[in-house]
Amino acid sequence: MVSAALGVIGLSGGWLGTVAAARSNIMGQLETARSASVGRQIQSLYGDSWKVTALIAGIFALTALVTGFVVLVRPAFGAPGQEQAPWIKSVAWAGVVLGVIGLILAVLKYSDLLLGLPSTPS
């Protein structure tokens, strides 16, 4: 259950990602001078917070992936005669799949391949 919940948080970015993005936006406002170029202002105000959100979401997605994987391979290292309940395997697989999807989306967002910043004249 934890893996699936972390996977959902990894897809959305969660509350922590929102707070970190807002903090990054405020820091960008404080550090960017009015005389800075438009591209630098956009990067400081929006680009950095976008990357922070992607990073937080990626951490949650990776945690979901690892947690689901550990739950799936645990019987191989635990008591070999005991079988896991089918719902445990199903939820663990859901966590792994959500973790993989969230990790891919986080990498695409962080690398600006998904909804990158608009280009500005230099």
Q: What is the pLDDT of residue 51?
A: 87
Residue 119 lies in a domain: no
pLDDT (0 to 100) of residue 76: 66
More confident residue, 63 or 12: 63
- For 92-106, the pLDDT digits (tens) are 999 999 999 999 999
CA atoms within a 13 Å half-sphere pointing along the CA-CB vector of 57 = 26
In a domain, 116, yes or no: no
Query: Does residue 44 form part of some domain?
Result: yes
Give the range of the structural domain holding residue 68, as residue numbers without chain letter: 2-110
Residue 106, in any domain of the structure: yes
In a domain, 117, yes or no: no
| 6 in any annotated domain | yes
- What string of H, E and C letters represents the secondary structure of the chain? CHHHHHHHHHHHCHHHHHHHHHHHHHHHHHHCCCCCCHHHHHHHHHHHHHHHHHHHHHHHHHHHHHHHHHHHHHHHHCCCCCCCCHHHHHHHHHHHHHHHHHHHHHHHHHCCCCCCCCCCCC
Q: Which pLDDT belongs to residue 121?
A: 66
How many domains does the structure of the chain reveal? 1
C-beta of residue 39 within 8 angstroms of C-beta of residue 122: yes
% of the chain beyond a pLDDT of 90: 20
- The mean of the pLDDT values for the chain is 83
